[in-house]
Structure 1
Amino acid sequence: MSMANAYNADQDTTLGAQDAALIARRTAALGPAYRLFYQEPLHLVRGEGVWLWDTSGKEYLDAYNNVASVGHCHPKVVKAISGQLGILNTHTRYLHDSVVTYAERLLSTMPAELAHAMFTCTGSEANDLALRIARSYTKREGIIVTKYAYHGVTEAVSQLSPSLGAYGTETPRVAMIPAPDGAGTSAGEEGAKFAAELAKAIAALRATGIEPAALIVDTVFSSDGLFTDPVGFLEPAADLIRAEGGLFIADEVQAGFGRTGDAMWGFQRHGLIPDLVSMGKPMGNGFPVAGVAMRPDLIAEFGTKARYFNTFGGNPVAAAAGMAVLDVLRDEGLLENSKQIGGFLKAELETLCAKRNDVAAVRGAGLFLAVDIASQDGECTLDAARAIAVVNHMRANGVLISATGPHASTLKIRPPLVLQKDQACQLLTAISDAFDATA
């Protein structure tokens, strides 16, 4: 999946001399593990709001990026970061108001049961920390994830990220289950199916002598293809893992900070209170800020015996960035904007796609939407090659999206939360044009 929309030098015939030379330097300096998006990579030099510009001055509507979630280079976030950077930036072993104030503000958006916050720099580190806490608290090792999940790139959480591929990720301590697929007619039916798969995974772990420590899910199942509905389907699985002695970890890196429009957090859509919540990407709008919220009892022994320190996690500049993001979300009404513009976009996509025989489904919530691309034979066979063709056609015409799902056959639409209606209309036009051009 991660390779489907990547640049392939063997197929490229369009790169200019400047970009070709930069790619050669990049390969020589950075090695073979990195990837570039799109068949013709983007050489970006500037961003503002929902817009990005390349070296030639060409403008792109960014309908993919949830890192700059409140808009590229938002002036309030830039001001907060640069202002604090000019005063003090150190670590959490000194007293400083900002990390405490930020933790208080962040926790106030969550259920009261989640009363402690710990900070890291990346979502991978946040999930790594959540994993350590879960195993420390339960005195168990087994973790259950969905079949195409992505939870990070450290050695520990790459084992929870089957979407990265099999190399280096397989371990008997991790069991994989299918994600909810939205086929259930109700939350109860969908939840029962998911809980039944979880029960099988727990039994399989126990058959090898491993007890379950946690179920961790991205609460919108973005790498599995984006499954947000029916609302409430996660509750039976959360109840089951707890009944079996494990914890429920909500990975909110993708779903959090108002992305779905219905609530600040993806787990709130389902009426749940997780045991641990991991956060990342949009937390600092591009500045490295991430963290974990948790029930206090989970960290009591770990905090006493293992302690915790992260040189850059929770530093004053990171806290300033995080608080500025919370300010912008509140002051600009971005949860409501996500709900309203996302609802408009989804309805228009459904109308557009209903007229075609090459789209299998439209899904999502708020400003996180998915469109399954199918073959044109009316059989709804998912078509990854055409999905990637659509993505690259749109890129060539100034609109950026990506592809996701087990076969990379699902368009992934995830613009900054500041997207406005006229920009949503531009996105819809680009999708329609790409459908026609690739038919």
Structure 2
Amino acid sequence: MNPDETMVNAYRPGTPLPPEAQALIDRRTRLLGPAYRLFYETPVHFVRAKGAWLYDAQGAVYLDCYNNVASLGHAHPHVLAATAKQAETYASHTRYLNDTVLDCAEKLLSHFPPDLSQVMFTCTGSEANDLALRICFAATQGTGIVVTENAYHGVTHLMAGASPSLGRGVDLGPHVRLVPAPRDAASFAADVTAAFADLQRHGIKPAALLVDTIFSSDGVIPGAFLGPAVQATHAAGALFIADEVQPGFGRTGAHWWGFQTHAITPDIVTMGKPMGNGYPVAGLVARPEVLAPFGAKARYFNTFGGNAVACATAMAVIEVIEAEDLLTNATRIGAIMAQGLRSLTHEALGQTRQSGLFLGVDILQDGHPSATKAARLVNLLREARVLISATGPRGHVLKIRPPLILTEAQADQFLSATEQALRLL
């Protein structure tokens, strides 16, 4: 979940709700405080989930076309069995020798280019990105960071300062520079070059270019345009971090990782959300020469990052993706969804962008981006018991990101519900 999305299609206090729903919201506000947000004008109270289905407190069934945390589908039996077996056998951290941790590292690295050969485990994608920047600071002796204009990379203090999608209420770090989301390879590289030059003019040594390789918070922008920007990053003495928290683990269909679409090998790759299919496990993979300066100066330890249960769970996730050939499924079902969306005719529908089971659709009013119409469409789909979200700097891009196990029948259900919702828009 990205914070910018909760502002686009969120519940707003004062919305008339059934008494039992309002009571639950009031209780939540009293216990959790004011910082949390809820999806949808009428929030949903879920009590269980299985596969791509979610069940509310009244037993109604919803199709999940958004949740990338349970990317293999909710409650996948193979993953649950691996978690439970390891939990009842042994659970501790990486200060003790344990085969499961190393087996997981080897399994994970088997899906990376040979130059990316060392793993560090964390609990969340935010932690992974935070650690990646610390590694870059040590390797470059710089602190300058370049990210895109509506990026989201995490909620630690360091990462919140490099996540402009959190909004104007969260200050950017003083060593952070923003560049527009890519339009093409040449202009993006030029923007990155200019951003690093601006850092240097202000006495800040460059350290890293950090991007989500499908630019999901910038509006879902698939393509193959990062090569020149990575060259510009290295020319500035900085390192390139590929944030794969959203596009990774087969989401884009053709590849395990979004950076592979761009035909590049990053210096560091960060992972999160789908790595444990709901269990908190994340991490990064890096070139050994990039890790060496950090490791020479600092000890790294994480009480739960890389514990045996987390690693058994992550290994099971990889096994499912392999055994069920989910990259092929993501490619096939994603193409069906994209073709179906492009076949719909409605004045509010703009461009559909798609890579595997990651789709972004521009929503327009009078030919211009419309966050209002996008939010309305998201809520109409929620009323039809199909869940998606909206994203992008203007809040006008539908963000569609179903579990990788989505079937053709479920894709058809999504398309049918979208067609009906458009009639009411």
Q: Is the 8 A contact 1:102 1:323 kept in 2?
A: yes
Secondary structure at the residue paired with 1:417?
Answer: coil
Q: String of CA shifts for 1:111-135, please: whole Å, max 9, x gaps.
A: 0001100000000000000000001
User: Which of 195, 214, 218 is residue 212 of structure 2 equivalent to?
Assistant: 218
- Percent identical residues: 53
Deviation at 1:304, TM superposition (A): 2.3
Q: Does 1:204 align with 2:208?
A: no
Q: Tell me, in whole angstroms, the C-alpha distance in 1 between the residues paired with 2:288 and 2:388.
A: 39
Q: Tell me, in whole angstroms, the C-alpha distance in 2 between the residues paired with 1:283 and 1:373.
A: 31
Alignment-derived partner of residue 361 in structure 2: 371
Give runs of aligned pairs for residues 12-411 of structure 1, distance below 5 A.
12-13=15-16, 15-181=17-183, 190-229=184-223, 232-352=224-344, 355-375=345-365, 377=366, 380-411=367-398
Amino acid of the residue matched to residue 164 of structure 1?
L
Secondary structure at the residue paired with 2:146?
Answer: strand
Q: Is the 8 A contact 2:254 2:327 kept in 1?
A: yes
Secondary structure at the residue paired with 2:237?
Answer: coil
Secondary structure at the residue paired with 1:42?
Answer: coil
Q: Is the 8 A contact 2:162 2:173 kept in 1?
A: no
What is the TM-score when the length of structure 1 is the normalising length? 0.95
Q: Tell me, in whole angstroms, the C-alpha distance in 2 between the residues paired with 1:109 and 1:124.
A: 22
Q: Is the 8 A contact 2:381 2:421 kept in 1?
A: yes
Q: Tell me, in whole angstroms, the C-alpha distance in 2 between the residues paired with 1:170 and 1:404.
A: 20
CA RMSD of aligned residues (A): 0.9
Q: Tell me, in whole angstroms, the C-alpha distance in 1 between the residues paired with 2:418 and 2:353.
A: 15
Q: Tell me, in whole angstroms, the C-alpha distance in 2 between the residues paired with 1:170 and 1:387.
A: 27
Q: Tell me, in whole angstroms, the C-alpha distance in 2 between the residues paired with 1:312 and 1:133.
A: 20
Q: Tell me, in whole angstroms, the C-alpha distance in 1 between the residues paired with 2:137 and 2:12.
A: 40
Paired positions, count: 421
Deviation at 1:351, TM superposition (A): 1.3
Q: Tell me, in whole angstroms, the C-alpha distance in 1 between the residues paired with 2:336 and 2:350.
A: 20
Q: Is the 8 A contact 1:249 1:276 kept in 2?
A: yes
What is the TM-score when the length of structure 2 is the normalising length? 0.98
Q: Tell me, in whole angstroms, the C-alpha distance in 1 between the residues paired with 2:371 and 2:118.
A: 42
Q: Is the 8 A contact 1:391 1:402 kept in 2?
A: yes
Deviation at 1:212, TM superposition (A): 1.1
Q: Is the 8 A contact 1:161 1:169 kept in 2?
A: no
Amino acid of the residue matched to residue 205 of structure 1?
L
Secondary structure at the residue paired with 1:370?
Answer: strand
Deviation at 1:271, TM superposition (A): 0.6
Deviation at 1:430, TM superposition (A): 0.8
Q: Does 1:418 align with 2:405?
A: yes
Secondary structure at the residue paired with 2:337?
Answer: helix
Deviation at 1:359, TM superposition (A): 1.4
Deviation at 1:300, TM superposition (A): 1.3
Q: Tell me, in whole angstroms, the C-alpha distance in 2 between the residues paired with 1:418 and 1:138.
A: 41
Alignment-derived partner of residue 8 in structure 1: 12
Unaligned runs of 5+ in 2: none
Secondary structure at the residue paired with 2:8?
Answer: coil
Deviation at 1:5, TM superposition (A): 1.4
Q: Tell me, in whole angstroms, the C-alpha distance in 2 between the residues paired with 1:249 and 1:99.
A: 24
Amino acid of the residue matched to residue 54 of structure 2?
L
